[in-house]
Each structure stands twice: as C-alpha cells, then as structure tokens.
Structure 1
C-alpha cells in the first residue's frame, strides 16, 4: 500500500490533446501580446524633467557655479526658490517607446503621450530639433536679461542676427550666419516673435523683401517663404535667428544640456531678484514657466502639466503659469500647489509681492477662475 496515492485521473487521449492545444494557444497569445507590447509606437512620452532654482547653483563642467551670475553689478541676498521646470521626452524617430511604455504613461497623470510628429516633424532630424532647442534656450536667456533690465529702467539697443539656415530651405544661399536683419517688407522688429509673425503675414505666394547688413554693407534679398512641416504648418524662411542686445551690465546664465524657450520668465525674475534688495518671493518656494519678450510679455509653453508635477516634486507651493496655458492647467493641478495665471512680467512680480506679504492673494487671477 502506497503512502501517497496517485489521485490524478486518467484522461482520454482526446482530452489530453485538447489540454495541450489550449496551453499552446495560451502560450502563443502571451508571446503575441509581449511582442506587440514592445513594438515601437508612433508616440513619444513627456515626463517631468529636472528642476533648477534660478537663485541657486548648478554644476557646469564639474564645478558648482551660480545659475545666474552678475559679476560687475551690486547684487543682493535672496531667499527661497524661483524654480524653472523642464520636460523630459522619452523617444525620438530613431528610438521610439513601445506600446507597454505608452500604456503605462496613459495611466500616469504626470506623463503625456504625444504624437511623434508634434515633437519630431517629418523631414526634421533629431539633430536639427536639438540644435533649434539649444538656439531657443540661448534666445530665451537673452530675452530674459533684456526683459529684466528693461523692467529695471535700462535702455537696450537690439538687433536680429541670423544664426544659420536649414538645408534646402528658401533662405539657403540667400542669407548667411552673421547677417543682421534690418527689416522685412519695411517692418522692423524688436524680437524674433515679431519677425515670425511678419513672415506668417507675408504668406507663401509672394516674395518677402528682406533688408540685411552683411559685413557692414546693406543689401536687400527677395525670398519666397515655404510652409513648415508638422501638423500645424506655418510660413517660414528656414533660418535660425537670435536677438543680440548691447547689455549695459554683464549677466551670465549658466545651464548645460537644457533647451527650449520656456524658462524665460523665471530667468527674468531671478535676475530682478538678485539686482534688487529683499526677497521677491518672501523666502517661499515658488516655481513657474513661460516664455518672455523684451517688453515683458509672458507666452505659452509646452508640457505645462508635467511641469506642475515637477514643481510639487521639488517642494514648490506656488506656481506661476502663463495665462494662455490655463485651459491645460484646469483640473490638473496636483494637491498642495496653488497656481496663479500671469500674462506679463509685471503680473508675475505682483504675484510674488502678494506671496511675500500674504496680502491680496485672493485677488490674483487663477486658471480655475478663468
């Protein structure tokens, strides 16, 4: 007599075959699901990126340096933080995320799944996108310095200078790096956004008359714009342009491996805080985002929801958001964060003053109230 009886019933041959077939189908299904999960998707993922305090320090080539350095002017002690936010993008045309990553990101409120063409338009290489992002960052720093110094009463002469042309673009062979753009169709400009608007107004049917200065000599060229690639095409010349200012004091913004124009407002606030007595933020932890023009207009940016979560993760309690991004903010503010809507540098300064004193906070515009 056996101590352990075999209780497994004998299966008829047909049932055995059915059992094996069922397991085979299940195995094939799992293999198929696994394979599909890792098939590259036509999307990229936006996530909260690193956070940088414009009043603090950063590592540049292994050395800790002030993010904003003003060596030749009197500066003042600051308190708290004025954080600028970034967005990390997972994926590009050469290395797209799989459907498993996409599905996980759809379930994460701090992430956004974005069509690939919105970030990397067809015909534009990853290198082109990175180059333009770096140019946008340099321009935003110049705009921020100009906006801050203008707000403080300085006079700033400005010029628009061509940084380069895109291969195959209408401007290739017509404009060169170093050319100064004096006017387009007789209109002069104080910043790149005004030039872009003039090109858009010209359209793609007629040539734009562009007056430039090259090597000290003035000349006029005629260029017909073309439509940009992507889901929202606009007339372009195919040039990268930067603002050049004659700054009365030396302001250095030192930040590596970060691109885009969205930190302009926070750079400007950091500069003003360092050049004026007292703490603009009252020693509070404040974060924010938005482009800036020399006239102090705050513009919309991408990835606002990711930046809201990035701000909370960094310990911010207050957030300054461009009013033009409010439709993306409503209903997506993380717990513990108060968001104020701003449209100008003066409005952001007023918000900081209210945060400092604790007075007038309820009167400040919020995205939820719009």
Structure 2
C-alpha cells in the first residue's frame, strides 16, 4: 500500500471533497448579493419624508392659456400687447401625505436644478394634501385681488377698499372689537388695507391707538391695546380681510396654480393691458414675487427653479424680489439677467427700460 502525501495547505485528501467548499461559497455570495440588491430596490421604492422642488412651466400673463386670455378686462378699454410677461411656477412633489420615494429624492439630489427639503421644514406636521391645496387656492385668490389693486394704484386709477375683522388671534381686544366690524380709521386717519393698518400701528402714539369701526349702523371709536410680536412689530391680535371694489372687472383664466407668488407679474400684466402700446416692446420678460395693494414686492419660494424655468422658456430678463437674492448665488443660468425689485414701481421701470431698448446698467441685480 502506498501512502499518499498530505495535501498542501490543509486541503482535504479526498478528491471528491475538493470542489464542495468553493461552489458552496459562490452560491452563498450570489444569494447574499441578490438579497442586498433586492433590499436596495425595496428601500428605493419606500416613501421618503422629503419635498422636491423642480422647474415648472411659465405662463404669459398678457397671452393666452388654452385659447383663453390669461388676463382679461371687462368694463374698461384694454390693449393686447405683443411681448411676454411670464409668471413662473415650481413643480412640488411630496408633502401632505403625497410622499415621494427615496429613489426620486436621490434623483433630485443629483439634479442641479432641483432642491430637496425635509417635509417638516416646508409643511406643518399632520397637514393633508387637501389642506395644502385649499391654502394655495386661497392665497392665489387673495393675490389676484391685491394685484389688481396694486396695478390700479400704479396707474392712479381710484378704487374702493375696506377691511373687516374676521377672527381673533388673541383675547387682548375681544372686549372692544367684534367679528364683522369694518375698520375705517386708525388714530383719526383713513385706512383701506391691512398693510396700511399694520404700518400705522408701528407709529408711537402717546395715548395709545384708537380704531374707528363701522358696526352695523353705528360708528364707534375704540381704544385698542398693542403687543410686540417676536420680530418687534406691534399688533392688536385680530385677523382681517380686505374687500375691494374696482371700477371694472379683471378676469384670471388660470387653473391648477396656487400660492401668492404670481402677484407682481399679474400687476404688470394688468398695467400692460390697460396701457396703449406694448410695455415690453415685444421682449420676453419673466419674474415672480408677491405684491401688496400698496405695491410692495415680497420674496417667494422656489426662486432658483423659477429662474431655470424662465430661461428654458426663452426669457432673458428676470424680475426677482430683493429678498430672494441670497437664494440665487451661483444659480443663475447663462444668458439670464436678474433685476432685483422691492416695489411694483421698480419692476415697472425695469420692464419699461427693456421695452424702450434702454440699458439695464445701474439697476441692482442678483446672483
């Protein structure tokens, strides 16, 4: 009998045993890889607590939407211009129970034109999609009213407005004011809008503020208490609604768009419609921003996405609220000129200069 030498490196001496461990290891690795890949796909498909903002379409406020004028005027002479004054939009995915997946969030993180935010930094905890839609619709309705008021103010066209108490934010003046009171004066001076009342409350009055209200058939002078909010402004703890009465009707043919950010572009569109000639000189201008009845322009969300959407639509000049300039650092597309504005007058002046072929040099920019 011949004795076999021991196998090198401790391998089994039985020939039939040698291939068993490599095959078993290979099968184990393949199975483990399949499990990991499968779990990865499952994880990517799971809901993620994020909100994604990406560029949306633009709408020409002096043009048409599905064959209908985006803005129309009834009861006054109007003129249909040739240029474009685009309002801009943002696609928003996620939030309010409408969750995105981890895969969608990863795609958005890799997209330089999109932004991803934790859901709770955008919407309060527990808010539903229906509630978000209702709030956006209410904000759009309010922005349409204030945009008409701002445009008429810019054109020196008179209109009527009144503000009334709709609810109480605190109990500090519940004993002297009532829901339904129409506020007509503050400290003897007329007030027609919420902003005018807020501005008046910031002025120091030695004997305190007095509000004049119309309550039914009675006119009452009511002393009110003020408190300081966290930002230092004075407030009287009431919620107010502004009711406008315009000398003609302005129609808005827009659906599926919410929020207040189109206010400034609505105002510019209305001004262009009511002014003979073409304010833009046939040029393509876009922008965004809230607007008060007094013409103050405020910042909005999604500014970086709106600028991209405007550039993709062909605009070369973008009107941006001054408060949004920090959000545009390093994010302005090639070929886009940003003009920062604080008031409707600023925006009007910029559009007029573009329309007249004048240089925008000297106007403040962003990005």
User: Given that residues 143 and 243 in structure 1 are in contact (C-alpha distance below 8 angstroms), is that contact kept between their aligned partners in structure 2?
Assistant: no
User: Given that residues 120 and 126 in structure 1 are in contact (C-alpha distance below 8 angstroms), is that contact kept between their aligned partners in structure 2?
Assistant: no
User: Is 1:132 aligned with 2:150?
Assistant: no
1:90 aligns with 93
Aligned length: 338
TM-score, length basis structure 1: 0.79
How many angstroms does 1:255 deviate by? Answer: 1.5
User: Given that residues 55 and 67 in structure 1 are in contact (C-alpha distance below 8 angstroms), is that contact kept between their aligned partners in structure 2?
Assistant: yes
2:38 aligns with 31
Worse-matched range after superposition: 152-161 or 46-55: 152-161
Cα distance change of structure 1 residues 242 and 38 upon mapping to structure 2, 3 Å threshold: farther
User: Given that residues 75 and 275 in structure 1 are in contact (C-alpha distance below 8 angstroms), is that contact kept between their aligned partners in structure 2?
Assistant: yes
In structure 2, distance between residues paired with 1:199 and 1:16: 83
How many angstroms does 1:286 deviate by? Answer: 0.6
In structure 1, distance between residues paired with 2:212 and 2:128: 30
2:283 aligns with 284
1:155 aligns with 158
1:360 aligns with 359
- Superposed counterparts of 1:222-241, under 5 Å: 241=240
How many angstroms does 1:223 deviate by? Answer: 11
In structure 2, distance between residues paired with 1:295 and 1:279: 24
How many angstroms does 1:89 deviate by? Answer: 1.1
How many angstroms does 1:155 deviate by? Answer: 2.5
Cα distance change of structure 1 residues 285 and 311 upon mapping to structure 2, 3 Å threshold: same
1:289-338: CA deviation from partner (whole Å, max 9, x where unpaired): 01111221111111101101111122211111111100011210112211
Worse-matched range after superposition: 265-274 or 109-118: 109-118
- Superposed counterparts of 1:1-370, under 5 Å: 12-59=19-66, 64-161=67-164, 180=182, 190-192=192-194, 241-368=240-367
Equivalent position SS for 1:251? strand
Cα distance change of structure 1 residues 224 and 91 upon mapping to structure 2, 3 Å threshold: farther
In structure 1, runs of 5+ residues without a counterpart are 1-9, 202-207, 229-234
User: Given that residues 170 and 223 in structure 1 are in contact (C-alpha distance below 8 angstroms), is that contact kept between their aligned partners in structure 2?
Assistant: no
User: Given that residues 96 and 132 in structure 2 are in contact (C-alpha distance below 8 angstroms), is that contact kept between their aligned partners in structure 1?
Assistant: no
Equivalent position SS for 2:65? strand
In structure 2, runs of 5+ residues without a counterpart are 1-16, 204-208
In structure 1, distance between residues paired with 2:262 and 2:179: 25
Cα distance change of structure 1 residues 105 and 238 upon mapping to structure 2, 3 Å threshold: farther
How many angstroms does 1:254 deviate by? Answer: 2.5
Cα distance change of structure 1 residues 264 and 223 upon mapping to structure 2, 3 Å threshold: same
Cα distance change of structure 1 residues 359 and 22 upon mapping to structure 2, 3 Å threshold: same
In structure 2, distance between residues paired with 1:37 and 1:72: 56
- Pairwise CA RMSD of aligned residues? 3.5
User: Given that residues 135 and 242 in structure 1 are in contact (C-alpha distance below 8 angstroms), is that contact kept between their aligned partners in structure 2?
Assistant: no
Equivalent position SS for 1:108? coil
Greater C-alpha radius of gyration: 2
